[in-house]
Amino acid sequence: MSKEIVLTILFMTAVTYGARVIPFILLRNMSLGGFWKSFISLVPVALLAALVIPELLISPENKIGLLNPFLIAGISTFIFARKVPNLFYSVLFGMLVFWGVDKII
């Protein structure tokens, strides 16, 4: 293993594990109500939107483009996953549609 890569991995681990564990250490005795309760229950939803929607709409040239394989495969995967609630099949389906559309466009 190259020393450079191992150091990179260790650095990535430190920042990632830090982000995972620090709230557990610092805030574990806190009880939340009202606003904060709503806030934390909405984080997963907001996160999925932020991870997915820009990738589907923005091209590598940093412009919004609707006729791109990501958006077409994304919408197809969404519809497929609603009909077939199976993570594995849905992920494979998405990859295949992307591959097909990417070849055509």
Partner 1 sequence: MDTKGFSYGLQKSITIGIGYAPVAITFGILSLQSGLTIWEAGLMSLFVFAGAAQFIALQLIAQGATIWVIGLTTLIVNIRHVLMSFSMIRFFPGISLGRLSLLAQGLTDESFVLNSKLLEDIGTPEERSRVALGVNIGAFLSWVIFTFVGAWLGKQMAITFSGFNFALLALFIVLTVGIVNRSNIFTYLFAGIIAVILKILIPGKVYLLLSVGIAATAGALIEYYRGSQENLEIKHE
Q: What angle separates helix 69-83 from helix 34-57, to the nearest 10 degrees?
A: 130
Per rule CB under 8 A, is residue 105 in the interface with partner 1? no
Q: How far is the CB of 93 from partner 1 (least distance, A)?
A: 8
Per rule CB under 8 A, is residue 4 in the interface with partner 1? yes
Q: Report whether 74 contacts 58 (CB < 8 A).
A: no
Strand partners, 64: 58
User: Total residues at the site for partner 1 (CB under 8 A)?
Assistant: 80
Please state, in angstroms and rounded to a whole number, the distance separating the CA atoms of residues 70 and 99: 10
Q: Please give the residues from 40 up to 99 whose contact with partner 1 meets the rule CB under 8 A.
A: 40-58, 62-64, 69-70, 73-74, 77-78, 81-82, 85, 87-88, 90-99
Alpha helix locations (H) across 1-105?
3-27, 34-57, 69-83, 87-104
Q: How far is the CB of 67 from partner 1 (least distance, A)?
A: 16
Q: Please give the residues from 15 up to 44 whose contact with partner 1 meets the rule CB under 8 A.
A: 15-17, 19-25, 27-32, 34-44
